[in-house]
Amino acid sequence: MMQDSKETRRTFIKKVARYSAIGIVGGTALYALKNSISNDLVWQIDPFKCTQCGRCATNCVLDVSAVKCVHAYALCGYCDLCGAYLKSDSKERTTAAENQLCPTSALKRVYIEDPYYEYQIDKDLCIGCAKCVEGCASFGNSSLHLQIMHDICTDCNQCTIARVCPSDAISRVSTSKAYRIRGEYTDAVKNEEV
């Protein structure tokens, strides 16, 4: 009788050890799977839904928003009178601060030839306020829009900007479709030089 209880106890301990090992291996596998799935998704702003409300600049968990202005150069008219660069009531078309629409001078104007200028965005100065995007949409061809820079973004589980976005323009997408630019997904923005 004593022998049977030892075998039962030994069997019980083996079963507990076996199920514990299976639980640890299974839990580790599920954790790795969850991380691989979540790492494949990033936050993105749909430029067609964005209403340039300015909340991207003020609601990001970072001190300076991970949202920056991006430029679809192929769509730009390179205008001398650019609604994204110049204030609508500016007296002159110059680079003077009082004439510029951007509050941080992140939008740079580079002369090409009369009457054309190229507009470049200094990502270090851009705060994601959307003033230039709004100006471009109201006067130009909407070649400027906002996008979340994934090299800056902390990839919050619940993006604070997405929660307050009035137009639901921010969503999670696959990393293969990380940057939406005027209807096309591309990673050209990732490689864009300032």
**Consecutive 10-residue runs of the chain (194 residues): their mean pLDDT?**
62 79 77 59 90 92 92 81 82 80 90 87 94 86 88 88 94 78 48 40
**The pLDDT value given to residue 67:** 95
Helix (H) or strand (E) holding 2: helix 2-38
- The rounded distance, in Å, linking the Cα atoms of 105 and 44 is 25
Distance between first and last Cα of the chain: 83
pLDDT confidence of residue 8: 79
Q: What pLDDT is attached to residue 186? A: 45
Q: What confidence score (pLDDT) does residue 163 get?
A: 93
Q: How crowded is residue 106: how many other Cβ atoms within 10 Å of its Cβ? A: 22
**What amino acid occupies position 125?**
L
- Which residue pairs from 15-20 have beta carbons closer than 8 angstroms and sit at least 24 positions apart in sequence? none
- 191 contact partners, CB below 8 Å, separation of at least 6: none
Q: How many CB atoms lie within 10 A of CB 189?
A: 18
Q: Which helix (H) or strand (E) holds 33?
A: helix 2-38
**Best CA proximity match to 155, nearest among 12, 35, 55, 2:** 35
Tell me which residue has tokens 């008219």: 77
Q: Are 78 and 143 in contact (CB under 8 A)?
A: no
pLDDT reported for residue 136: 87
Q: For residue 174, what pLDDT is reported?
A: 86
